[in-house]
Amino acid sequence: MNLSDSKKKLALAGVVCGLVAVCLALMGNPANMAFCIACFIRDTAGAFGMHQAEVVQYARPEIIGLVLGSFLISAATKEYRSTAGSSPMIRFVLGVIIMIGALVFLGCPLRMIIRMSAGDLNAWVALVGFILGIATGVFALKNGFSLGRAYATNKINGAVLPMIVTGILVLALATSLLKASEAGPGSMHAPVIASLIGGLVFGAFAQKSRMCFAGSMRDVILMKNFDLLSVIAGLFVVLLIFNIATGRFVAGFNTPGVIAHSEHLWNILGMYTVGFAAVLAGGCPLRQLILAGQGSSDAAVTVVGMFVGGAMCHNFGLAASGTSLNPETKELVAGAVPPNGKIACIICIIICFVIAFTCKREDAKK
Amino acid sequence: MKEVDARGLSCPEPLMLTANALKGATEAVKVLVSEPHQKMNVEKYARDHGKKSTSTEKDGYFEVVIE
């Protein structure tokens, strides 16, 4: 099965993944979050008590399904390769940075597309930052940026993350060790089996189509190649049709309940950070999970970095708050990025620049 | 024959190195990559640029010869 040899097949993969997101939203996931990698990793980190924000703690079966879906399909189609060794600790740092940027904006690139399709103009503003971040990463690539080679490792090494997420699933189903939110976004979820199947399907299609939100725009800027963008276009169109058909499309900035804020500069800088770091890491948060599932320990280390980053965002007060309605006064309470989040975002951008222009291929050092 | 050893490198480096090697190349270019999707990307790049490619699976990597 090859989904990446024509734009039509790629768009179809996007449509399937869009339908998965729609179904999960209809079955209980937060509507505009539906299938957000950053939010779901943060929620899963919360389930382990890595942070104490009670409203965002839940072991999301979607994350488990994505890794396992990629693992199973890559093993079945002989694409599983156990590899490691390409600057793992730099990738860990990039994972942390991706999460900080994502939670300053309030969403990963996938959720940005989901929010855009529902008319959230903040996400359209953030798209500008995302593209600029990717363009900065492309500039670094053209100047010889590289994290170096990965090498083949013991086959079982690449299967450790899939085994860990299977363990998380067992803990979630068979024990009461994991925390689960009783209110807030963490308490809103589709039935476990639906989320798991959704994750498996999404993971399998993402693996076969090489779906990557950063990679799609990177390829357009770098090589005028629109292949990967057709996956995103397929996903966006499905979500847009769904939102318009069900009356969920509301164009605006300060929409309560969307879990978004309207601090334009920080929406731009948050996604700038994500775009920049994702190009340096070789893929967006979704792609990192998929690569980890198909045996890349380097991507798995990035995923671990994202877990730590998600926890840091809530432990150190870096994550933004969403615009909401005061239940008593019915007044609009504007969402905002806390000062710590702004400082962290700037530090992350500086670190990205340091990584981008100090890590070079051997031939580019001359 | 010019050789590009892109084994173990992250995307899009294999394709960037291939594109650089093909610029003004008068002889065949041999590209070594690790991942199946990278092999497909290189083959597609060659096809899109009017070149023929032949791929063979080696021990843990792929060899794509572009002519």
Query: What is the chain A residue with the closest CA to B7?
Result: A149
Query: What is the chain B residue with the closest CA to A212?
Result: B11
Per-residue model confidence (pLDDT) at position A365:
65
CA distance A294 to A82: 8
Candidates B9, B19, B35; nearest CB to A81: B35
Please give the biggest Cα pair distance in chain B.
30
Using H for helix, E for strand and C for coil, what is the string for chain A?
Answer: CCCCCCHHHHHHHHHHHHHHHHHHHHCCCCCCCCCCHHHHHHHHHHHCCCCCCCCCCCCCHHHHHHHHHHHHHHHHCCCCCCEECCCHHHHHHHHHHHHHHHHHHCCCHHHHHHHHHCCEHHHHHHHHHHHHHHHHHHHHHHCCECCCCCEECCHHHHHHHHHHHHHHHHHHHHCCCCCCCCCCHHHCCCCHHHHHHHHHHHHHHHHHHCCCHHHHHHHHHHHCCCHHHHHHHHHHHHHHHHHHHCCCCCCECCCCCCCCCCCHHHHHHHHHHHHHHHHHHCCCHHHHHHHHHCCEHHHHHHHHHHHHHHHHHHHCCCCCCCCEECCCCCCEECCCCCHHHHHHHHHHHHHHHHHHHHCECHHHHC
Closest CA to B10 of A352, A98, A365, A279: A279
Q: How many domains does chain A have?
A: 1
Under 8 Å between Cβ of A83 and A151: yes
Instruction: Categorize the per-residue pLDDT at A154 as very low, low, confident or very high, splitting at 50, 70 and 90.
Output: very high
**Mean per-residue pLDDT of chain B:** 92
B29 has pLDDT over 70: yes
What is the mean pLDDT of the segment spanning A240-250? 92
* Chain B residues inside the 8 Å CB shell of A78: 36
**Mean per-residue pLDDT of chain A:** 94
Structure tokens at B66: 């572009």
Per-residue model confidence (pLDDT) at position A215:
94
- CB spacing of B16 vs A222 below 8 angstroms: yes
B26 has pLDDT over 90: no
Interface check A353 vs B, CB under 8 A: no
CB atoms under 10 Å from CB of A83, counted, come to 24
CA distance B14 to B60: 16
Under 8 Å between Cβ of A37 and A64: no
What is the mean pLDDT of the segment spanning A56-73? 97
- CB spacing of B10 vs A361 below 8 angstroms: no
pTM: predicted TM-score of the whole model, two decimal places: 0.94
- The verdict on residue A296 lying in a domain is yes
Instruction: Categorize the per-residue pLDDT at A74 as very low, low, confident or very high, splitting at 50, 70 and 90.
Output: very high
Candidates A149, A282, A361; nearest CB to B11: A282
pLDDT digits (tens, 9 = 90+) for A285-341: 999 999 999 999 999 999 999 999 999 999 999 999 988 888 788 888 888 999 999
What is the mean pLDDT of the segment spanning A24-44? 91
- CB spacing of A223 vs B19 below 8 angstroms: yes
- The residue range of the domain holding A311 is 7-364
- The verdict on residue A1 lying in a domain is no
CB pairs under 8 A between A and B: 53
* Chain B residues inside the 8 Å CB shell of A142: 16
A366 has pLDDT over 70: no
- CB spacing of B12 vs A141 below 8 angstroms: yes
- CB spacing of A152 vs B60 below 8 angstroms: yes
- The verdict on residue A342 lying in a domain is yes
* Chain B residues inside the 8 Å CB shell of A219: 12
What is residue B6's three-state secondary structure? coil
Q: Minimal Cα–Cα distance from B7 to chain A, Å?
A: 7
- CB spacing of B37 vs A210 below 8 angstroms: yes
- The verdict on residue A2 lying in a domain is no
Q: Minimal Cα–Cα distance from B31 to chain A, Å?
A: 15
* Chain B residues inside the 8 Å CB shell of A149: 7-9
- CB spacing of A150 vs B34 below 8 angstroms: yes
Query: What is the chain A residue with the closest CA to B12?
Result: A282
* Chain A residues inside the 8 Å CB shell of B35: 79, 81
